[in-house]
Amino acid sequence: MDELFAPTVPDEAMALALDRVRRGAETGDVSELDGLALDQVILNMGPQHPATHGVLRLVVTLDGEVVRDVIPVVGYLHRCKEKLAEKRTYYQYIPIVDRTEYMAGMNCEWTYVLAVEELAGIEVPRRAEFIRVIMAELNRIASHHVAVGTFTADLSPLGTAMAFYTFRDREKILDLLEEAAGARMMFNYFRFGGVRFDLPPGWEQRCRELMAEVPKWTDEYRALVEDNAVFLSRTIDKGVISQQDVVDYAITGPNARASGVPHDLRRTRPYSVYPELDFELCLADHGDVFDRYKVRVDEMLQSARIVQQCLDMMPRGPVQEGSLRAPYVITPPPGSAYIAQENPRGEYGIYIVSDGSRYPYRLKYRDPCFINLQLLPKLMRGNKIADAVAIGGSIDLVLGGIDR
Amino acid sequence: MLGILKALRTTVRHLPQKSFTVQYPEERVELPERSRGLFSVVVDVPTGEARCRACTLCETNCPVQVIRVDHRSRYGLPAVDEGAISARRSQRHGDVDVGPIAGLVAGHRVSGESLSSILRRVQRLYGYLPPQALDELSRQAAIPLSEVYGVASTSGDLRLSPPGATLVAVCRCPACQVGGAARVEEALEEALGVCSGGTTDDGLYTLGSVAGTVACTRPPVVVVGDDVHFDLSPPRVRRLAARLGARRGAE
Amino acid sequence: MDLFLDILRGLAAVILAYSFVFISALVNIVFERRTLAFMQDRLGPNRTGPQGILQSVADSFKMLGKEDFAPAAVDKRLFTLAPIMVMIGAVAVQLVIPYTKGWTSQDLNVGIIYIVAVTSFTVLAILIGGWASHNKYSLVGALRSAAQMVSYEVPMILALLVVAMAAGSLSLNDVVSFQSGYQWFVFYMPLTFFIFWIASIAELNRGPFDLPESESELVAGYGTEYSGMRFGMFFLNEYAGLTIMSMVTVTLFFGGWEGPGQDLLVVYGVSVIPFVWFMLKTYALVFALVWVRLSVPRLQVDQLMAFAWKFLIPLALVNILASAAIILWAPQWKWVMAGFSWVLFLAVVVLFDPLQRRMLRRRRAKSPMLTRG
Amino acid sequence: MSLQVGDIEIGLAEFAARLEERFAGELTDVALQPPVTVVARLAREKLAEVARRLHDLDETPLDCLNLISSVDNVGSLECVYHLYSFPANLYLELHVEVPRGTPVVDTVSDVWPAADWHEREAWDMMGIRFRGHPDLRRILLKDDWIGHPLRKDYVDDVRNHPYV
């Protein structure tokens, strides 16, 4: 019977948390309620936990309700994608890239294809550029739907309305993407020098109608949540990311813009046809959980505007640079390139080193969630468990990108 | 509280709206034409022939066992050119009467004996395992063709090509193996000019293997047709190989 | 002879009480799931039975069938005692509820105080369940729910007292008869109704107050270690509570069984039409409970406490003092009470958001310097 | 004053010239990679000190560490520090050669806190130790994994897969 209660051998993260508690006890930094002999509880939130999006494990040291320390443990979804790159030709690697950050398949593929085009000096026809922007922005809206929906579901009892409205609207976008690219999430649609198919007939009209609906959707989300007294009291002034944190921890994407940092790669390091499109940067000034939610909803509107402009400005013409269609083998000259691009979660960059052969010599991802996750312990310290869950939800993590 | 009232008003406005759910088995979502959600036979546009050769490998490897390969295509696609395939086969194997196979398979379903033992019975019928027989067997017993072929090609004593007049079988039992069966086999391969399991081009000899013989007390052992040669030291093997080579030359 | 009739009547009352709890629990499960579904543009369970009516029956059979084991480190006796106790609250309250014109199981003259006394059993049961499960999650969940239920009973009692003062008696039948002629208390005292209803939501651990078993943080709160029929008892109690609490609210504020066409159908001295009205009003309130649960996120523990002690209880105190003064001294006290209550109620509803936003903005201004350097 | 991006108008060539003139001895073969990147090499010993000075450059400080990539050029290992300057909105790629025998280099996590996990990943995948790193553990692989997978001469050890 006693082996039932044999203390499980704590792995490194648990051991680190235990000795931090022990060191805390020696230096007198014991629990707030010094009167009571309350020792701290180490709680394992994850890797299966309703609040951690995907297989993230947080070793949380609790002092009653207050979170005293958090040690994130990642790697449960590690698929060694960077090692795979050494074994796959450039062309075979495209479907693997859009499985890193599976919420934004189009953006990931675009970054990889952009990097290889930079290395190999491939030109992209103008119509393909516009199709790429449309696909990326549609994927951004769908990804923000998931982010906002699951974040609100974390705050409220099971079966909250917001989660279902966002996912219902996302379905419509995914149907559009399936018509054009053939798949709902794992697209494999981009090619070097363009995209694989042209848009099916009648697609543009359906897309224009759907983009006209986006403002109606966002008004409904705002009405449901933004004046809600309970929602405000749970999100305002919680988990504030200061601009100093943004610079020190290289935070990018909606999390940075919510703190007032106008860093958006579509504007600061323009690529493709973005300079010709006019859209505003959605900024907020307090950088708390509420602002991060608000920035994401505003960005949905901006993305819809971009898609409408692209549909108007898109010329006729080929969709993929002719010479690259048949032979699927590309051997870019030796050299290295770091190309980054604005993914719904931040700056998603790929650093490729090529040695002239058919296989990339080394491929390194700059994943926005991996870097935003570093700040989580600093944000969660000192808050209650409920706040910690809200902050985790507002940072919007996708474990596929973190673990690669 | 006005904010909460506004939220309440938003949710109640959804009460009368039509629901979004598609009741799957009764109603089905029709996938767009370009969707990669379903398996489909890829048709090679220039020749108009389906690129699938019905090799049933997908059927065997599918983890959720949802694929059934049926040569007679139901989708009205340009069917696999069966005539060309069977013509090529019979030209190499001669037309094979596949009647008795049904009886064998029926027995199998009753007695439940394993696939390899059925294949041995089929081999006893035709002397080897012709592709048409494997085809018929897989269709009758509803076992994917690639699985039948897998079993047929791996086990040592099942032959996929017609045997030569006499069978030269090198014994592979542990005793002979230790006794130097490998050396014997090399010598015979040189002499007959054919690798193990193959048949000499003039169809006289087939170099096969056997799992054990009566004479295995005096390894290594080779069975040529009916007579058994044992205790084959290197010189005796060379003499046997030369004699086989010569006889082949003579005829 | 009448002794035998009394015994029979008592027996019928007990059977009615228990069957009512189980049937209303089953009905509520399906009712809530379907209403939630329709409000979220989906269908909800519609496969078992016509339009999914038998879904909760299927659930309860599954719940009965599931293996109901107790983990090794559990305090055996308390672990089994908790689910049994949890149903006491829901069943015992029906002793005093006037279902229809001729039928109240036992018209106690201390009805209102009896209700409050009995509903506090569930707090005890949840505490015992949480403590006995010997699990971090359930311990935190149980302590949270104990704090929440105790601190929301205070405004609930204060609201009930106002009703008792207005009706002049503690017995529920008198309260119902006082409200006859469509002079329901909800029209005269909307503020009291507002306080009572919010406190009752918290009492039921539902809607924005379902902290004890909040999924995102505590996995399943006090119910984490329970499975099978033991968990079923907690589950049934939560859903039965919906109807029971709505019945109490209807009796106190919406004129109980009063409705047009009262004496049309009388069976053995018990008129049936008012029962139908009573049920309609109850299920209107149950719909409101489900509606609130869908649209309002969950409160935090400290906000829960702050809302109770810093807002609801002072409001209830002001309300009870003012009502007492009005009932004693005001000549036409009903109209004065209505005026006062409506003004205060609208003030609270309108001013709550701006005040809260100002408080949040002030807290934001105090937060650390955001900009560089 | 809230943070601005790219408010100091400075061209790429001019930015490279400023760097070359400020770090004459240390930064070698500075090259331009239009449109936004300057590439330079740096000796391993000078890393910690140069990093601090780069971070505190007067007008265009390279205040943000975007990424640390580790590359295995068979002869030696190489750490690539991708730095970004918010005021100048330009990138600097620092290549630091690390010998294969003793793959040790100073940590920069005290200068840029973002470097913490990048260095842990470089240690986990490429086996480069960072002297002075607060808690250099494996980040993606199992704690007791043997070997560093992204090295070109990596052979997968059977003890890494006990359950297969």
- What are C95-133's pLDDT values in tens digits? 888 888 777 777 888 888 998 888 888 888 888 988 888
CB pairs under 8 A between A and D: 94
| Strand-pair category, A360-366 with A346-354 | antiparallel
Distance CA A298, CA A397 (A): 19
Q: Which of A174-178, B205-209, D18-22 has the highest mean pLDDT?
A: A174-178
Angle at C151 between CA C148 and CA C153, to 5 degrees: 105
Cα separation values, C87 from A277, C83, C319, Å: 64, 7, 32
| Residue B43 in domain | no
Domain ranges of chain C: 65-366
CATH 1.10.645.10 in chain A, residues?
81-403
CATH number for the region A81-403 comes to: 1.10.645.10
Bridge partners of residue A339, in order along the sequence:
A350
Contact C40 A157 (CB under 8 A): no
The pLDDT, as a whole number, for residue A254 is 94
With contact defined as beta carbons under 8 Å apart, do C247 and C190 qualify? no
Q: Which of A243, A218, A205 is closest to A162 using CA atoms?
A: A218
The H-or-E segment that residue B109 falls in is helix B99-111
The identity of residue B136, as a single letter, is E
Query: pLDDT digit of tens for each residue in chain C (373 aa)?
Result: 788 888 888 888 888 888 888 899 999 999 999 998 888 888 888 888 888 889 888 888 888 888 878 888 888 888 888 888 888 888 888 888 888 877 777 788 888 899 888 888 888 888 898 888 887 778 877 888 888 888 999 999 999 999 999 888 888 888 888 888 888 899 989 999 999 999 999 988 887 887 765 654 555 677 778 888 888 888 888 899 889 999 999 999 998 888 787 777 777 777 788 888 899 999 999 999 999 988 888 888 888 889 999 999 999 999 999 999 998 888 888 889 899 999 999 999 999 989 988 988 888 887 765 554 4
The residue among C31, C209, C353, C356 with the most chain B CBs within 10 A of its CB, best to mutate, is: C353
| Strand-pair category, D129-131 with D104-106 | parallel
Partner-chain residue, chosen from A43, A51, A224, that has the shortest CB–CB distance to C136:
A43
Task: Using the structure block, give the residue that is written with the tokens 């399991």.
Answer: B197
The identity of residue C48, as a single letter, is T
Contact C350 B2 (CB under 8 A): yes
With beta carbons under 8 A apart, name residues in chain B contacting C312.
none
The H-or-E segment that residue B205 falls in is strand B205-210
Q: What's the distance, Cα to Cα, between the start and end of chain C in Å?
A: 92
DSSP C140-158: HHHHHHHHHHHHHHHHHHH
With beta carbons under 8 A apart, name residues in chain B contacting A200.
32-34
The nearest CA of chain A is from the CA of B18 a distance in Å of: 12
What are the tens digits of pLDDT across the range A20-45?
Answer: 777 776 665 554 444 444 567 777 77
Neighbours of chain D (3+ CB pairs under 8 A): A, C
Q: Which domain holds residue B64?
A: 56-68+98-158
With beta carbons under 8 A apart, name residues in chain A contacting C70.
none
| Residue B175 in domain | yes
Question: Is the N-terminal amide bond of A215 cis, ω within 30° of 0?
Answer: no
Q: Are B113 and B129 members of one domain?
A: yes
Q: Is B10 on the interface with A (CB under 8 A)?
A: yes
Q: Collapsing DSSP states into helix, strand and coil, what is residue B148?
A: helix
Phi, psi torsion values for B167, nearest 5 degrees: -100, 125
Distance CA A147, CA A139 (A): 12
Q: Is D87 on the interface with C (CB under 8 A)?
A: no
With beta carbons under 8 A apart, name residues in chain D contacting A336.
80
With a CB cutoff of 8 Å and minimum separation 6, the contacts of B157 are B120, B208, B209, B210, B211
Distance CA C76, CA A221 (A): 48
Task: Locate the chain B residue with the closest alpha carbon to A176.
Answer: B32
D140: domain CATH number?
3.30.460.80
With a CB cutoff of 8 Å and minimum separation 6, the contacts of A223 are B6, B7, B9, B10
Q: Do the chains B and C touch each other, judged by at least 3 C-beta pairs below 8 angstroms?
A: yes
Q: Is C295 on the interface with D (CB under 8 A)?
A: no
CA B209, B215, B220, B225 dihedral sign is negative
Q: Which residues of C263-274 are buried (b: 16+ CB within 10 A; e: fewer)?
A: eeeeeeeebebb
Contact D67 A364 (CB under 8 A): yes
B231: domain CATH number?
3.40.30.10
At C241, list the tokens.
């509570």
Instruction: Tell me which of B135, B158, B181 is where a domain ends.
Output: B158
The nearest CA of chain C is from the CA of B29 a distance in Å of: 16
Q: Collapsing DSSP states into helix, strand and coil, what is residue B132?
A: helix
The pLDDT, as a whole number, for residue D4 is 81
Q: Collapsing DSSP states into helix, strand and coil, what is residue A340?
A: strand
pTM of the complete model: 0.80
Q: Is B35 on the interface with A (CB under 8 A)?
A: yes
| Residue D6 in domain | no
| Residue B171 in domain | yes
Q: Are B64 and B126 members of one domain?
A: yes
| Residue B188 in domain | yes
HEC readout, B7-50: HHHHHHCCCCCCCCCCCCCCCCCCCCCCCCCCCCCCEECCCCEE
The residue among D3, D63, D64, D85 with the most chain C CBs within 10 A of its CB, best to mutate, is: D3
By CB neighbour count within 10 A (0-12 exposed, 13-18 middle, 19+ buried), where does B19 fall?
A: middle
Q: Is A161 on the interface with C (CB under 8 A)?
A: yes
At B123, list the tokens.
């081999």
What are the tens digits of pLDDT across the range A127-149?
Answer: 999 999 999 999 999 999 999 99
The pLDDT, as a whole number, for residue B74 is 55
**Structural domain tally of chain D?**
1
At C260, list the tokens.
């047009």
CA A103, A376, A227, C209 dihedral sign is positive
Q: Is D1 on the interface with C (CB under 8 A)?
A: yes
| Residue B197 in domain | yes
Q: Do the chains B and D touch each other, judged by at least 3 C-beta pairs below 8 angstroms?
A: no
The residue among B19, B36, B39 with the most chain A CBs within 10 A of its CB, best to mutate, is: B36
Query: What ipTM describes this predicted complex?
Result: 0.83
Task: Locate the chain A residue with the closest alpha carbon to C359.
Answer: A233
Q: Which domain holds residue D94?
A: 12-160
Q: Is D3 on the interface with C (CB under 8 A)?
A: yes
With a CB cutoff of 8 Å and minimum separation 6, the contacts of B202 are B248, B251
The pLDDT, as a whole number, for residue A27 is 63
Q: Which residues of D111-120 are buried (b: 16+ CB within 10 A; e: fewer)?
A: bbbbbbbbbb
Distance CA C159, CA C248 (A): 13
| Residue D133 in domain | yes
**Structural domain tally of chain B?**
2
With beta carbons under 8 A apart, name residues in chain A contacting B10.
161, 220, 223-224
Whether residue A395 has pLDDT greater than 80:
yes
